[in-house]
């Protein structure tokens, strides 16, 4: 104990304090003046700022404390530091550029000085932690503040935690100023927001932004009390309660169990929250911390607000604010700071720096990890790393820190959530930067994981979205749900998370992997494809992407277990691969042309060989005349056309739907601009349950025989602006439950006997502006419970409300335009 006490007087001595001030003043001056050692002077300045706090607090302690042996050399070290700082600050940049070894020597000396100062602070804080907690409480508080600064800068480890005081953010931050402004607008000015989740994947700067928020002057003015608690993946409620008590000087209660701790916590917040209080819960995890959020959320007052940082969303409790990746400028600034490139003895070409920064995809943790690896390394190491990443080598293959941080989010999935994890990995089967239609995933997962109900797939997407493992966007949100319509649901994923998905199966031996992703350049194929012994045997999901110079020359694919095939191409003309080795296993085929215009497919008839095919989705394809290209798919249940040219295929003289798809249950036609009419043959598909024709503005009429679709349950005609009427035979659709004619501006009236559709439960008729009245038979729709309408069409229902007492009118529908900001439409 005496040894520790004597250390304090040595540090506080007047002579040492004077030397410290000289060094501190010299570093501040050098930081402003220097050009070659600027980042090193900045680090020194941060260390000395922490040391200054320690001195100010120690001066108030008992003046009888005496010297500690072994630390007297610290004064000498600071005196040497004064001379070093003065010498470096007076060096001319040209002198350093000419003399490479001289620059390197002084870089190392400045780094050594900073390490020496940090070592002393760590030593003193450790001694105080063990021996002086009760006697020197002011000193303890000071040391805690120092430790937070050092931890925030990632320059020391295993430092002691503070007592709920707000840690200082790192001395250098980028890309967070706009987020800070937005966060203040959303959190400070809206009294309805009592809890807000700041969410993003691990390593994106959530904690740093929360620290900046707490240190902001407007926030300090509003909240006189601030408590900052790190929760972590496995929260220790006893520790959290203890820290909160210590932060306010309260007596630590005896806590017997978690329920007791939560009850006490609520009482503590009730009492403390009488004055304006900001509670920051940092690093909150899904599941393990929800009981904590429950208790905090129960107590609501305008004086008390909670800011949560988490890689997960908690929609049950509160709204969320999501951090975006860094833009190019901020990413470059962070990289330059992390690599200390301005002080490096190696000259790295600017174009090489730019390439590596772009390969980090604006992900802060990736930029920091790569930057540290390249710091003060010769240009050859930089070139090697750029080559590896450019050729597709994942950052995650070599950077364990980054992999571990991201992997933890995936590992947090419940042990029973095996399918959710598989769904996440499947997202890596789509090209980079692509907006993935949710309906594509529905088709895939229905067969891979037996998710026969579409809403189950959407539920898994919501789960991934809430865990920040994917972003689910809905371009149009109807107030009463989607009614099973998911064509306006899209999924995006940050490129680093896509790399994580690919990494999960990237190390499986060929022949054993469940899924296989092939990104082909030209006609170059991997060796295993042409070598019989190495061909995969167990692959269930195969994704093949080809570029604009692919010649459609396919090798035979021996994939006897493949159930889902996803094809992405960019050429104007395309040919399907030979399906011979997949004909007995393939159940789902997704074909996407990422070009601007629909593409011709030369060998459409090959589809006929896929005897077990259940689902097909074609995007931006010229659909040929099936009369001239006959196919027969007896097991096909669902077919979807998106932005396809269907004129040739849907001509009454060109197709025999019943012969080609005799057991079809669902047909979706979306954004097919040349669709004018549907063939009468369509009405023979007696197994058809869902017919969806949307955004096809030239469609002017439906087949008069549409009433023969006796099993039809859903008829969706959304945004078919030229459609002027519904056929009278609609009255025969006895099983029809949902009818959508929204945005059909040309419809003037509904069929007179629409009331005979007695199973109708939901009707969407928003923006049918030419519709002037409803037929009297509307009163006979006894099962109708929901009508989605606008202000105009709502008025048409007033006369029928007495006889339709259980009807629910939904007027509001929200349009989400976030998708317009995405880089690619498809």
pLDDT digits (tens, 9 = 90+) for 597-621: 888 888 888 888 888 999 999 999 9
Q: Which residues is 491 bridged to in the sheet?
A: 436, 472
Residue 170 domain-assigned?
A: no
Determine the pLDDT at residue 103. 61
pLDDT in tens, 384-397: 888 877 765 566 76
- Confidence tier at 191 by pLDDT (50, 70, 90): confident
Residues 554 and 591 in one domain: yes
Buried (b) or exposed (e) across 614-633, using 16+ Cβ within 10 A?
Answer: bbbbbbbbbbbbbeebebeb
Q: What are phi and psi of 396, to 5 degrees?
A: -70, -20
What is the arithmetic mean of pLDDT over 236-244?
A: 71
User: What are the C-alpha distances in Å from 207 to residues 148, 199, 256, 619?
Assistant: 12, 10, 31, 42
Residue 575 domain-assigned?
A: yes
Residue 456 domain-assigned?
A: yes
- Which tokens hold the place of 13? 């001595």
What is the extent of the structural domain holding 735? 700-826
Determine the pLDDT at residue 360. 84
- Across all residues in the chain, what is the average pLDDT? 76
Residues 449 and 512 in one domain: no
Determine the pLDDT at residue 513. 77
Q: Which of 57, 287, 351, 321 is nearest to 176 (CA)?
A: 321
CATH of the domain at 268: 3.40.50.300
- Confidence tier at 7 by pLDDT (50, 70, 90): very low
Residues 138 and 226 in one domain: no
pLDDT in tens, 263-311: 777 777 776 656 788 888 888 887 767 777 777 776 655 577 889 888 8
Please state whether 245 falls in left (phi above 0), alpha (psi between -120 and 50) or beta: alpha
Q: Which residues is 788 bridged to in the sheet?
A: 764, 810
Greater model confidence, 67 or 274: 274
Cα–Cα dist 267/181, whole Å: 32
Greater model confidence, 431 or 11: 431
CATH of the domain at 802: 3.80.10.10
Residues 609 and 521 in one domain: yes
Greater model confidence, 27 or 609: 609
Determine the pLDDT at residue 740. 95
Determine the pLDDT at residue 31. 63
Collapsing DSSP states into helix, strand and coil, what is residue 786?
Answer: strand
Greater model confidence, 525 or 428: 428
Residue 169 domain-assigned?
A: no
User: What are the C-alpha distances in Å from 578 to residues 282, 354, 523?
Assistant: 54, 42, 15
Query: Would you say 41 and 112 are in contact if contact means Cβ atoms under 8 Å apart?
Result: no
- Which tokens hold the place of 36? 């070659």
Query: Would you say 88 and 110 are in contact if contact means Cβ atoms under 8 Å apart?
Result: yes
Residues 609 and 750 in one domain: no
Residues 361 and 248 in one domain: no
Determine the pLDDT at residue 54. 53
Query: Would you say 364 and 205 are in contact if contact means Cβ atoms under 8 Å apart?
Result: yes
- Which tokens hold the place of 292? 């904590």
Cα–Cα dist 494/485, whole Å: 26
- Choice among 350-359, 545-554, 558-567 with the minimum mean pLDDT: 545-554
Of 580, 601, 622, the position where a domain reaches its end is 622
Give the total number of structural domains in the chain.
Answer: 6
User: What are the C-alpha distances in Å from 690 to residues 82, 100, 426, 618, 626?
Assistant: 80, 74, 27, 18, 22
Determine the pLDDT at residue 659. 82
Determine the pLDDT at residue 220. 87
Cα–Cα dist 558/537, whole Å: 8
Residue 398 domain-assigned?
A: yes
- pLDDT over threshold 50, residue 71: no
Residues 138 and 182 in one domain: no
- Confidence tier at 142 by pLDDT (50, 70, 90): very low
Residue 673 domain-assigned?
A: no
Determine the pLDDT at residue 152. 38
Residues 101 and 44 in one domain: yes
- pLDDT over threshold 70, residue 323: yes
- Which tokens hold the place of 96? 């350093």
Q: Which residues is 543 bridged to in the sheet?
A: 517, 566
Percentage of the chain with pLDDT > 90?
Answer: 19
Residue 85 domain-assigned?
A: yes
- Which tokens hold the place of 745? 């501006």
Percentage of the chain with pLDDT > 70?
Answer: 71
Of 449, 467, 497, the position where a domain reaches its end is 497
Determine the pLDDT at residue 415. 55
- Confidence tier at 443 by pLDDT (50, 70, 90): very high
Residue 601 domain-assigned?
A: yes
Determine the pLDDT at residue 96. 52
Cα–Cα dist 42/48, whole Å: 10
Of 497, 525, 541, the position where a domain reaches its end is 497
Residues 349 and 486 in one domain: no
- Choice among 73-77, 169-173, 340-344, 712-716 with the minimum mean pLDDT: 73-77
- Choice among 334-338, 391-395, 587-591 with the minimum mean pLDDT: 391-395
Determine the pLDDT at residue 155. 32
- Choice among 219-223, 396-400, 798-802 with the minimum mean pLDDT: 396-400
Query: Would you say 478 and 813 are in contact if contact means Cβ atoms under 8 Å apart?
Result: yes
Determine the pLDDT at residue 426. 92
Residues 26 and 90 in one domain: yes
Q: Which residues contact 817 (CB under 8 A, 6 or more apart)?
A: 475
Residues 375 and 310 in one domain: no
Residues 450 and 482 in one domain: yes
Query: Would you say 457 and 451 are in contact if contact means Cβ atoms under 8 Å apart?
Result: yes
CATH of the domain at 377: 1.10.8
């Amino acid at each position: 104990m005496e040894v520790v006490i004597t250390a304090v007087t040595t540090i506080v001595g007047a002579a040492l304090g004077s030397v410290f001030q000289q060094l501190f003043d010299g570093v501040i001056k050098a930081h402003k003046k220097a050009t070659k050692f600027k980042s090193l002077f900045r680090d020194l300045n941060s260390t000395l700022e922490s040391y200054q706090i320690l001195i100010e607090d120690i001066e108030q302690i008992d003046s009888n404390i005496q010297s500690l042996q072994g630390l007297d050399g610290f004064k000498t070290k600071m005196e040497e530091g004064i001379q070093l700082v003065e010498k470096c600050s007076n060096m001319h940049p040209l002198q350093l550029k000419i003399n490479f070894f001289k620059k390197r020597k002084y870089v190392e000396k400045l780094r050594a000085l900073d390490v020496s100062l940090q070592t002393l602070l760590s030593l003193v804080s450790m001694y105080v932690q063990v021996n002086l907690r009760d006697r020197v409480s002011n000193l303890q508080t000071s040391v805690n503040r120092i430790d937070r600064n050092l931890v925030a800068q990632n320059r020391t480890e295993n430092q002691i935690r503070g007592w709920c005081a707000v840690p200082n953010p790192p001395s250098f931050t980028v890309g967070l100023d706009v987020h800070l402004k937005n966060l203040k607008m959303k959190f400070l000015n809206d009294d309805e927001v009592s809890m807000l989740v700041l969410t993003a994947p691990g390593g994106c700067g959530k904690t740093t932004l929360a620290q900046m928020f707490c240190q902001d002057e407007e926030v300090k003015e509003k909240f006189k009390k601030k408590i900052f608690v790190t929760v972590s993946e496995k929260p220790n409620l006893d520790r959290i309660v203890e820290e909160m008590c210590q932060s306010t000087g309260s007596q630590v209660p005896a806590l017997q169990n978690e329920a007791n701790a939560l009850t006490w916590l609520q009482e503590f917040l009730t009492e403390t929250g009488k004055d304006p209080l900001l509670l920051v819960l940092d690093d909150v995890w899904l599941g393990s911390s929800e009981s904590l959020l429950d208790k905090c959320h129960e107590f609501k007052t305008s004086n008390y607000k909670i800011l949560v940082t988490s890689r997960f969303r908690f929609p049950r409790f509160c709204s969320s604010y999501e951090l975006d990746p860094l833009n190019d400028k901020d990413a470059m600034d962070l990289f330059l700071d992390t690599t200390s490139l301005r002080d490096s003895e190696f000259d790295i070409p600017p174009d090489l720096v730019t390439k590596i920064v772009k390969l980090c995809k604006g992900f802060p943790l990736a930029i920091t990890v790569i930057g540290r690896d390249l710091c003060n390394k010769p240009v050859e190491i930089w070139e090697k790393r750029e080559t590896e990443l450019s050729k597709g080598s994942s950052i995650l293959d070599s950077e364990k820190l980054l992999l571990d941080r991201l992997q933890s989010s995936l590992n947090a999935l419940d042990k029973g959530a095996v399918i959710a994890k598989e769904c996440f990995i499947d997202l890596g089967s789509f090209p980079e930067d692509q907006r993935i239609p949710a309906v594509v995933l529905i088709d895939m997962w229905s067969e891979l994981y037996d998710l026969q109900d579409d809403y189950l797939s959407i539920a898994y997407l919501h789960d991934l979205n809430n865990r920040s493992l994917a972003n689910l966007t809905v371009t149009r949100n109807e107030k009463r749900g989607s009614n099973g319509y998911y064509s306006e649901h899209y999924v995006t994923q940050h490129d680093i998370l896509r790399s994580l998905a690919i990494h999960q199966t990237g190390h499986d031996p060929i022949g054993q992997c469940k899924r296989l992703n092939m990104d082909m350049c030209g006609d170059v194929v991997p060796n295993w494809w042409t070598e019989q012994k190495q061909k995969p045997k167990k692959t269930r999901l195969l994704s093949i992407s080809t570029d604009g110079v692919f010649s459609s020359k396919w090798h035979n694919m021996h994939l006897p277990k493949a159930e889902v095939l996803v094809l992405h191409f960019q050429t104007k003309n395309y040919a399907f691969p030979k399906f011979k080795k997949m004909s007995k296993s393939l159940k789902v085929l997704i074909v996407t042309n990422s070009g601007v215009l629909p593409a011709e497919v030369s060998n459409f008839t090959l589809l006929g060989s896929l005897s077990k095919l259940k689902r097909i989705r074609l995007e931006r394809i010229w659909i040929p005349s099936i009369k001239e290209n006959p196919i027969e798919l007896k097991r096909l249940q669902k077919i979807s056309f998106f932005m396809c040219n269907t004129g040739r295929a849907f001509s009454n003289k060109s197709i025999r739907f019943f012969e080609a798809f005799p057991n079809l249950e669902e047909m979706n036609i979306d954004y097919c601009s040349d669709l004018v009419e549907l063939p009468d043959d369509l009405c023979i598909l007696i197994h058809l349950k869902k017919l969806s024709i949307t955004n096809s503005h030239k469609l002017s009429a439906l087949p008069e025989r549409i009433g023969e679709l006796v099993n039809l349950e859903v008829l969706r005609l959304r945004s078919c602006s030229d459609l002027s009427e519904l056929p009278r035979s609609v009255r025969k659709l006895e099983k029809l439950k949902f009818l959508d004619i929204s945005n059909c501006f040309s419809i003037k009236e509904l069929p007179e006997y629409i009331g005979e559709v007695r199973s109708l439960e939901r009707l969407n008729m928003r923006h049918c502006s030419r519709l002037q009245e409803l037929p009297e038979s509307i009163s006979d729709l006894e099962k109708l419970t929901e009508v989605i309408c606008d202000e105009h069409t709502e008025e048409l229902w007033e006369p029928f409300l007495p006889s339709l007492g259980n009807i629910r009118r939904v007027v509001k529908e929200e349009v989400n335009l976030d998708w317009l900001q995405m880089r690619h439409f498809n």
